[in-house]
Amino acid sequence: MADTAKRRARASVWLEGGPRRGGRGGGQPSGLDRERIVAVTVRLLDAEGLAKFSMRRLATELDVTAMSVYWYVDTKDDLLELALDAAFGELTLPDPEADEDWRDQLRALARMYRDLLVRHPWLSPLIGTYVNIGPNSLAFSRLVQRIIRRTGLPAHGLVAAISAVFQFVYGFGTMEGHFLARSAAFGMTPDDYFHHAMSMVTQAPDTSDIVQDASELMAARGGDTVEEMWERDFEFALDLLVAGIEAMVQKTRHG
């Protein structure tokens, strides 16, 4: 009972003295290690999604028994948390000492984060599920904090500024990634799926008026493809956020 309660209260694999690189001891399968397990996990999540992922499916892909995986990780949650941080390890972070304008650095990190969420749609729910304190995630967070401190915002506004920018990116990247995954699931290109969906909505009596009212906004949005529309929306919204930070800095300086 005590072991069960302890496992339920476990906050993160990274708070348990670090995840094992090798197995528990003698007898573990040869040719298997934690890095390979995590890499295959990421590949499966990309290909099949979070809902279809299981330890049994992973074991089949690794050509081992399901119990063999547990030589290297205690639970499925631990493995997903490791996969989450492995994905953050794909980010090529700029030099924190680089003499570059904070605006350019902030935009670069926002774009990286968006691309990561779009590339791995399964990341979004995991980011909201786990503490996300692996070494790669922390490296990203530290750099974000360092850049935000250079904006000139007062200390009490720094966390809010980070939230404004990166919660926006999280939401935008999540929707974009899920849209692309949905398009692929229907065997359609993003453009074909978009036009198909809009056609269906326009023809539905309960939603046609709403779509018609929004037609001018959609036309003014610009872009010939879904990718161009996503890109234009993201960049304009990011500019708004940066401008908001600049305006708040000026307001603070002038009382």
Q: Do 109 and 166 fall within a single domain?
A: yes
H/E stretch holding 49? none
Is 77 inside any structural domain? yes
Is 10 inside any structural domain? no
Q: Do 60 and 120 fall within a single domain?
A: no
Is 57 inside any structural domain? yes
Query: pLDDT tens string for the chain (255 positions)?
Result: 444 444 545 688 998 765 455 555 555 555 799 999 999 999 999 999 999 999 999 999 999 998 999 999 999 999 999 999 999 999 999 887 888 899 999 999 999 999 999 999 999 999 989 989 999 999 999 999 999 999 999 999 999 999 999 999 999 999 999 999 999 999 999 999 888 887 777 777 776 677 666 666 666 676 789 999 999 999 999 999 999 999 999 988 876
Q: Do 123 and 166 fall within a single domain?
A: yes
Tokens 């993160």 locate to 12
pLDDT for the residue numbered 169: 99
CA 203 – CA 97 distance, rounded (Å): 55
Residue 224, Cβ density class (10 Å: 0-12 exposed, 13-18 middle, ≥19 buried)? exposed
CA 55 – CA 44 distance, rounded (Å): 11
Q: Do 183 and 82 fall within a single domain?
A: no
pLDDT for the residue numbered 208: 66
Structurally, how many domains does the chain consist of? 2
pLDDT for the residue numbered 156: 95
Is 25 inside any structural domain? no
Is 80 inside any structural domain? yes
pLDDT for the residue numbered 255: 66
Q: Do 173 and 247 fall within a single domain?
A: yes
Is 17 inside any structural domain? no
Q: Domain ends where: 43, 60, 88?
A: 88
Q: Do 164 and 179 fall within a single domain?
A: yes
Hey, what amino acid is at 230?
A: W
Q: Do 149 and 228 fall within a single domain?
A: yes
CA 50 – CA 42 distance, rounded (Å): 10
Q: Domain ends where: 42, 63, 88?
A: 88
Q: Do 111 and 46 fall within a single domain?
A: no
pLDDT for the residue numbered 22: 55
Cβ–Cβ < 8 Å for 62, 32: yes
Q: What is the CATH number of the domain that holds 59?
A: 1.10.10.60
Question: Which residues span the domain enclosing 44?
Answer: 34-88
Is 167 inside any structural domain? yes
Q: Do 67 and 146 fall within a single domain?
A: no
Closest CA to 42 of 92, 90, 114: 90
pLDDT for the residue numbered 17: 63
Q: Domain ends where: 51, 72, 88?
A: 88
Closest CA to 70 of 24, 134, 18: 24
Cβ–Cβ < 8 Å for 136, 88: yes
Q: What is the CATH number of the domain that holds 243?
A: 1.10.357.10
Q: Do 138 and 233 fall within a single domain?
A: yes
Q: Do 155 and 183 fall within a single domain?
A: yes
Residue 16 has which token pair?
A: 């348990």
CA 192 – CA 187 distance, rounded (Å): 10
